[in-house]
Amino acid sequence: MAPMRRDGSGIIRETFCFRQIPMHFPLLRPLACTLAMISAVPALSDELHADPFAQDLPVVLTGSRLAQSPLDAPAPVTIIDREMISASGFTEIHDLMRLVPGFLVADWPNGSPTVANHGLGDAFDRRIKVLVDGRAVNDPLWGNTLWQDLPVRVDDIDRIEVVRGPHGAAYGANAFQGVINIITRHPATESGTTVISRLGRDGFHDHGVRINGGAGSAIDWRLTASRRGARNFESITNDEGDVFSQESIRRTVVNLQASTQLTARDELRLQLGIVDGVDDRGYPMTSDEAAEWPIRDEDVRTHYLHGAWTRSFAADSELTVQFYHQAHRRRVAWVIEDGGRSIPTDLDTDTARNEFEVQYSGRMAPRWHFLVGGGVRQDSVRSRRYFDRGRALRATYWQGFGSLTWQASDALSVNLGGTFEDHAYSGKLFSPRMAINWALSPLSALRMSAGKSYRAPSLMESHARETIRYEDTIVRRLYNSLQKVDPEEVVHLELGYVARIPQYGLSLDARVFQDRYDGYLDDEVCRYRPPPRSNCSDLGFATPPGFSTDPLSTSTYYFLNLGRATVRGAEFTLDWKRPGWGRAILTQSFTRVHAGSQLEEENVDRSAPRSATSLLLIKDLPHRWRASLGYYHTQPVHWLNDGGEMGNQDRVDLKIARAFGPRGSDNEVALTAQSLGGRYPDFDAEKFRHEPRIFLSVRATW
Amino acid sequence: MVGLAPRLRHLVCALALTVAASPLAALDIAIVASQSKGSSRVVADAVLQASSKHMLVHGGNADGALETEHIRRAGLVIALGEAAALAVAADDDAPPMLVALVSRADFERLRGHEPTRPMTGLFIDHPVERHLRLIRAVMPEAECTGLVLGPQSRSFESEFGPAADAAGLAIEHSFAASAGDVVPALERHLARCAAALTLPDSVVSHPHVARAALLTSYRMQRPLFGYSRAWVEAGALAALFSTPATATRDVLDWIDAFEPTEQLPEPAYAYHFELAVNTRVARALGLQVPDEDTLRAAVTAGRQP
């Protein structure tokens, strides 16, 4: 039975739920209909207040909902807005980081894509904290972000706020090289049903549906579902005849967001979602690596539940209480054939995170604004392979944070902030920061900030016992936390200048910076058996009990605080916009990494390109056509660990779109080409070539 | 006058008003508030305490005791708020009435119910032209403003042409019959216009719709202009509006200017106003808003005192 809705006149009428949901997603129908019934709950305040001067309206655009102006921010922030997201043609979230000065993006077939800021990047981007609507999504195992498993799609995003440097004072430990804060669209800002379909060469597809309900009623909600698949890497063979790995992925994502204004002051928001998919990756049989890493299916599933209650006292004063639970599961098993032995192995992993956080902001005097909060987080990881145990490994973290902003004069503001964290492994860490903003004019400001941030070791770095067993013996021990390691530290200092020149439609954000890292944490190799060099026993690491006399390999990787590095650089973003013509966003970064003597051999000093440029050019054309071109250039860079040397890279993307339907809607048909130059080297030029992509897309709302 | 037909009674009232109020004579004016507390009472007390050429008398509260005898003896009654107007209108012997502290829509509904009663209005609303002048002052480069009308605010439609000409800012408007129509309509307008305006309406201004409208405007990086302080606190960029203080000044100005004639003056918009700007929203949208004196001067430019 179709649910019924009571409108303001008391007339009961039928809602859309069945007839508007496309046939491709039949399972969504009962859910959408249930939501339609729930949202038909009468509004709390159906009549305007009797007192004409006392209309009750919720405080909607609060300080936490508004993007902080770069003129006022205590840290360098880049905002990727919806126009940029749409014009870029990117369909994967990590690719959007190419639009941020200093950020590097890579993908490789053996794992998740990776993002780095000003060097030190490798296969596990654990030095950048990623949040989705305030939910930390970094994986508890490695601390990296599983970009393709995020339960959010580019179509869900309202904007991304990227802090382009360490900011542990506001975001806690592990906001070490930057913070990527993904903010999704509020369900109240969409209406109707939207279908999105992208179809390209080599099996690329990305289809989705978005069903919005409750516009103007007590509950705003949105139900989205999408299914995508792509072949990212074909196996290549180098001049020496080495054959490298390949990868293709498939994902299904379902999300529900609901929000209700309980009173004029109180908003309740609930989000839940699930991602299900398969990675098909590995080395072809012709590769020497195929025995240990054959082509295999890795089943992945992520789910989350996130609730938040916000009480707004004023535009700059609110209390937020939030809780979320998220979990990720990977299932992959295969058999290593080795000299007549069939050795079963797997990479089965279950991770989970629960976090509770309270935050309060307010103004204690006209020129003094503060924010305080605290929370507790519990991470757990269960993996027999990585930890050589069946039970889950659990870690609990407590943190308290606060910041105080003093508007000393109309021109000068001083911000002091800090986070104190009691980390399960690293103990007590305090990340302080001070920023001074000096307004040269109402539309230009200088910023000076300095502080210290930490990156606590991930559970992998602190507890790994990666083990492959055959019968009762250990035939391989790979990652192995043989000794206590310290958190990485960075002392950061920057001087920034931000200006807006509205008469020319121009914005400028520039800065120079220095980040001094200490305790750089990396893996080293030693061997349990001869050859004599790098012998584990020389380092005091005993051969594990039960180690096979005929192991797959005698080498093991242990973690070590290797040393210091200093990164200095300059970067700017120039954003020019002219209504009717279009927009151009140019970013440029210059980076120098000075590795300490212990790190020179690790290629750390080549881990950032000396120069990197991005240009996103958006041109409005007649008859609602629009063309956008993305150009991304990086000078040579060396991705660390599993990565390798990359030469000069130039990538050009092009999108031609035509809008249709009502103005203001996102309806469009488009042709997008990613990497017009064809396959491009990625992560390690010797080994990996990312597939280019060309696809047609349609987006329609009714 | 009990027993006389209502139309005849009202004619007699109008004649009495004319005769009793010779140019040199002070008129008894009864002030009736809607509530014993709240803004209507605040305005009533402020008016009663002010000096006037007329005799201002306490007419009671609609939610308590009405001073019926004072009201009947008066040559004019000023009803502050819709409830006060309804209470006065229930008495067939009440004199002609000025209804203040009501929106234009509420007043027109009242007059529809009492078509023969001598009645005029002093709205808390401000003319559309004034809102447009404010938008123009804040965003000089704006060529048009979007406006979604609901069942009540639709009555403003007749003003749009002259108001747009006077303010130099075009209006692109549409009509939303239900709450669900508001956001799509707003999106269409904001795709073309640099800003949007809201006017009082039970559909378009409903708190849930207001939330969606404000979020939509921010998502599209185009500001919304409201008509109350609550709108600005909620996230609108700016608004001009009446407050109890400005409404008191409007009522006193009206009383001072009132010379009893054969007919009551035509209903009028509020004259005095307050301005509010949400500086956080302005900052977030990268807008530089002129100071209040500049805005006030722009809004009142060309206005008759």
pLDDT in tens, B129-151: 999 999 999 999 899 999 999 98
What is the rounded CA–CA span in Å between residue A469 and residue A388? 9
CB-based contact, A440 to chain B, within 8 Å:
no
Report the Cα B63 to chain-centroid distance in Å.
Answer: 22
Estimate the crossing angle of helix B82-89 against helix B104-113, to 10 degrees: 10
A402 contacts A372 by C-beta, under 8 angstroms: yes
Q: Which of A8, A57, A215 sits opposite B210 (nearest CB)?
A: A57
Chain B residue with CA closest to A53: the answer is B243
A141 contacts A128 by C-beta, under 8 angstroms: no
Report residue A4 as tokens: 């019924």
Q: What's residue A44's pLDDT?
A: 37
Residue A1: count other Cβ atoms within 10 Å of its Cβ: 7
> Bridge-partner residues for B273, per DSSP?
none
Residues of B in contact with A186 (CB under 8 A): 215, 219
CB pair distance less than 8 Å for A216 and B182? yes
Q: What's residue A48's pLDDT?
A: 40
Report residue A623 as tokens: 């008859």
Judge residue A574's burial from the number of C-beta atoms within 10 Å of its C-beta, 0-12 exposed, 13-18 middle, 19 or more buried.
Answer: middle
Instruction: Indicate whether this complex's ipTM tops 0.90.
Output: no
Q: What's residue A28's pLDDT?
A: 54
Q: What's residue A609's pLDDT?
A: 96
DSSP per position, A375-390: EEEEEEEE-HHHHSSS
Q: Which of A61, A189, A216 sits opposite B206 (nearest CB)?
A: A216
What is the rounded CA–CA span in Å between residue B68 and residue B298? 45
How far from B23 is each of B17, B54, B120, B257, B260, CA to CA, in Å?
12, 11, 20, 12, 8
Q: What's residue B18's pLDDT?
A: 47
More confident call, B13 vs A466: A466
Identify the sign of the CA torsion A62, A67, A73, A75.
positive
The two most distant CA atoms of chain A are separated, in Å, by 88
Residue A73: count other Cβ atoms within 10 Å of its Cβ: 22
Query: How far is A319 from chain B, CA to nearest CA, in Å?
Result: 16
CB pair distance less than 8 Å for A663 and B281? no
CB-based contact, A56 to chain B, within 8 Å:
yes
> Bridge-partner residues for A436, per DSSP?
A414, A448
Query: How far is A83 from chain B, CA to nearest CA, in Å?
Result: 9
Residues of B in contact with A67 (CB under 8 A): 284
Residue B20 pLDDT greater than 60, yes or no: no
Report residue A690 as tokens: 């990312």
Q: Which residues contact A530 (CB under 8 A, 6 or more apart)?
A: none
- pLDDT tens for each residue of B100-119: 999 888 898 899 888 888 89
Residue A544 — φ and ψ, nearest 5°? Answer: -65, 145
Q: What's residue A244's pLDDT?
A: 95
- pLDDT tens for each residue of A259-274: 998 888 899 999 999 9
Q: How many residues does chain A have?
A: 702
Q: What's residue B2's pLDDT?
A: 40
Place of tokens 């009961």: A12
Query: How far is A516 from chain B, CA to nearest CA, in Å?
Result: 32
- pLDDT tens for each residue of A125-178: 999 999 999 999 999 999 999 999 999 999 999 999 999 999 988 888 889 999
Cis peptide bond upstream of B265, omega within 30: no
Residue A434 — φ and ψ, nearest 5°? Answer: -130, 135
CB-based contact, A390 to chain B, within 8 Å:
no
CB pair distance less than 8 Å for B215 and A60? yes
With residue A14 as reference, give the H or E element that holds it. strand A12-14
Residues of B in contact with A317 (CB under 8 A): none
Residues of B in contact with A192 (CB under 8 A): 184
Report residue A133 as tokens: 């609507």
Report residue A241 as tokens: 């005849």
Q: Which of A56, A66, A158 sits opposite B284 (nearest CB)?
A: A66
Of B238, B191, B180, the residue nearest B217 (C-alpha): B191
Q: What's residue A34's pLDDT?
A: 52
CB pair distance less than 8 Å for A58 and B210? yes
Confidence of residue B304 (pLDDT cuts 50, 70, 90): low
A567 contacts A593 by C-beta, under 8 angstroms: yes
Q: Which residues of chain A have pLDDT under 50?
A: 1-24, 38, 40-49
Total CB pairs under 8 A between chain A and B = 164
SS3 A150: coil
Judge residue A474's burial from the number of C-beta atoms within 10 Å of its C-beta, 0-12 exposed, 13-18 middle, 19 or more buried.
Answer: buried
With residue A632 as reference, give the H or E element that holds it. strand A625-634
The two most distant CA atoms of chain B are separated, in Å, by 67
Report the Cα A44 to chain-centroid distance in Å.
Answer: 37
B93 contacts B75 by C-beta, under 8 angstroms: no
CB-based contact, A59 to chain B, within 8 Å:
yes
Q: What's residue A19's pLDDT?
A: 45
Task: Show which of residues 301-360 on chain A sit within 8 Å of chain B, judged by CB atoms.
Answer: 314-316
Report residue A305 as tokens: 């539940």
CB pair distance less than 8 Å for B212 and A220? yes
A161 contacts A111 by C-beta, under 8 angstroms: no
Report residue A169 as tokens: 């004072």
SS3 B36: coil
A352 contacts A327 by C-beta, under 8 angstroms: yes
Sheet with B28-33, strands from edge to edge, namely: B55-61, B28-33, B76-80, B97-102, B119-123
Residue B196 pLDDT greater than 50, yes or no: yes
CB-based contact, A186 to chain B, within 8 Å:
yes
Residues of A in contact with B281 (CB under 8 A): 61, 66
Residue B239 pLDDT greater than 90, yes or no: yes
Strands, E assignment, A442-505 = 444-455, 465-470, 473-480, 488-501
What is the rounded CA–CA span in Å between residue A161 and residue A180? 6
DSSP per position, A188-239: GG--SEEEEEEEEGGG-EEEEEEEEE-TTSSEEEEEEEEEEEEEEE---B-T
3-state helix, strand, coil split of chain B in percent (to 5) is: 45, 20, 35
CB pair distance less than 8 Å for A53 and B178? no
Of A92, A91, A125, A95, the residue nearest A643 (C-alpha): A125
Query: How far is B3 from chain A, CA to nearest CA, in Å?
Result: 34
- pLDDT tens for each residue of B258-291: 887 667 899 999 999 999 999 989 988 888 899 9
Q: Which of B124, B184, B207 sits opposite A56 (nearest CB)?
A: B207
CA angle A67-A71-A76, nearest 5°? 75
B225 contacts B196 by C-beta, under 8 angstroms: yes
- pLDDT tens for each residue of B123-132: 999 999 999 9
Report residue B234 as tokens: 């909620």
Residues of B in contact with A185 (CB under 8 A): 219
Of A279, A79, A72, A239, the residue nearest A159 (C-alpha): A79
How far from B292 is each of B275, B296, B300, CA to CA, in Å?
7, 6, 12
More confident call, A114 vs B92: A114
